[in-house]
Amino acid sequence: MNSVTNGQKPPKRVGQRGPAEHERRDQIISSANHHFLQVGYRRTSVADLARAIGFSTAYIYKFFDSKRAIGEAICAMTLREVDDPLWRIAEGTGSAEARLGQVFKALAEGGRDLFFNERQLHDIVAVALEERWSAIEEHLETLTQIIRRIVLDGREAGEFERKTPIDEVCLAILKTMAVFANPLLLKLELNRLEASTGAVARLVLRSLAP
Amino acid sequence: MNSVTNGQKPPKRVGQRGPAEHERRDQIISSANHHFLQVGYRRTSVADLARAIGFSTAYIYKFFDSKRAIGEAICAMTLREVDDPLWRIAEGTGSAEARLGQVFKALAEGGRDLFFNERQLHDIVAVALEERWSAIEEHLETLTQIIRRIVLDGREAGEFERKTPIDEVCLAILKTMAVFANPLLLKLELNRLEASTGAVARLVLRSLAP
């Protein structure tokens, strides 16, 4: 990330090659995702994948330089599907208190719907966590921005206290979300998701009282 | 756990055999722990272990019916080493507020010292988490009791609010501890442990304000 110029971030393309043939690239990501969910990420080679989704290996390598690069693209796409509804909540109307509660719920339910298949964690998620793919750090940074946005709104509206440094509040709230944001912990909450998210969200809201 | 009689719990001996030769048993657990930390739990068989620690395989099987039973005993012993200082804090003098803060710190630092070797997670810990050994559930139950004790003291002393149902408060605080109690998440906090534990503990304490 040293090549930032003119204050603009370059597009993220870890391990990706070739021209910006976005549509074809997205098609490979989507087909690969579908295939990995059926067959498993660990047990699929790029050659297997190419055969299954009807492209040549060479064509896939035009876009991605490794299986991991495909995995990372799937991971980033999936985490955007978690983040987008959270951003919509953060930028929505309604009290900051209500929005923060909704973020906890949507984070947990979005993760449940995307990371699990009949309570089994998709293996690509397990690999992403083990190898700490960069999309995970970006997701946590996005969560922090979402929290910050709501807390600042709540402070401005007089709903939340203003004494604690904002960075500390956001860091602490992010940590309280770990049990729903991290799929390994989320898995242990699946049979009591509503009670858990409610209890933690209400604790956080009590901590923000002016 | 169906054989409870006279209201007394039978001693926990999952997969353990033989007479109560506690000293010899403890010696095997301690030697096995040392050996697994050096060589790795996954790559050691009971025969390897017996050879390394100078007992016959048959003698080890007198006490433990599988490698996992030895692992579970090590896990229970290790988690007691985390829990005991936390109980001492909970039952100590000082304000409930101070004690709760100390519990966060001691939980994180105890886990760091016991579960990691130069930042590498001991593999027996990883296996225990994957296979969800029973000692982990017991540890979480103990943590809940520790939290409950301090919160009730704080309520009685007028330090903490009393409106929220106590079970909900204890559940929520337990969840906020996940990031320090779960070694996989703790690993990601090792380079900012003081800031993280401080921020979360202070958030929890603000949530408890009357």
pLDDT class of A22 with cuts at 50, 70, 90: confident
A179 touches chain B (CB under 8 A): yes
Q: Which of B172, B178, B182 sits opposite A203 (nearest CB)?
A: B172
Sign of CA dihedral A208, A168, B189, A174: positive
What does the radius of gyration of chain A's CA atoms come to, in whole angstroms? 19
Q: Which of A185, A203, A209 sits opposite B178 (nearest CB)?
A: A185
Residues A29 and A70 sit within 8 Å (Cβ to Cβ)? yes
Percentage of residues in chain A having pLDDT higher than 70: 90
Report the pLDDT value the prediction gives residue A120, as an integer from 0 to 100.
Answer: 81
Is the pTM here over 0.90, yes or no? no
Angle between helices B22-39 and B46-53 (to 10 degrees): 110
pLDDT class of A17 with cuts at 50, 70, 90: low
* Chain B residues near residue A178 by CB distance under 8 angstroms: 178-179, 185
Q: Which residue has the higher pLDDT, A119 or A16?
A: A119
Report the pLDDT value the prediction gives residue B134, as an integer from 0 to 100.
Answer: 93
Q: How many CA atoms lie within 13 A of A15 on its CB side?
A: 16
Listed in sequence order, the residues at least 6 apart from B82 whose beta carbon sits closer than 8 Å to its beta carbon are B107, B110, B111, B114, B139
Domain B22-69 falls in which CATH fold? Arc Repressor Mutant, subunit A (1.10.10)
DSSP conformational letter for A64: B
Residue appearing with tokens 């690969």: A32
* Chain A residues near residue B129 by CB distance under 8 angstroms: 184
Assigned architecture for domain A22-65:
Orthogonal Bundle (1.10)
Predicted confidence (pLDDT) per residue in B53-71, tens digit: 899 999 999 999 999 999 9
Three-state DSSP at B99 gives helix
CATH class of B72-207: mainly alpha
State the average pLDDT over residues A86-112: 97
State the average pLDDT over residues A110-124: 87
CA distance B168 to chain A (A): 6
DSSP-assigned letters across all residues of A77-142: HHHHHHHHHHHHHHTSSS-HHHHHHHHHHHHHHHHHHHHEETTEEPHHHHHHHHTT-HHHHHHHHH
The ipTM value here is 0.86
Q: Which of A173, A175, A184 sits opposite B196 (nearest CB)?
A: A175
Do domains B22-69 and B72-207 share one topology? The answer is: no
Three-state DSSP at B121 gives strand
Predicted confidence (pLDDT) per residue in A82-97, tens digit: 999 999 999 999 999 9
State the average pLDDT over residues A97-103: 98
Report the pLDDT value the prediction gives residue A50, as an integer from 0 to 100.
Answer: 94
Where do the domains of chain A lie?
A: 22-65, 72-207
- Predicted confidence (pLDDT) at residue A203 exceeds the cutoff of 90: yes
Q: Which regions of chain B are under pLDDT 50?
A: 1-11
A157 touches chain B (CB under 8 A): no
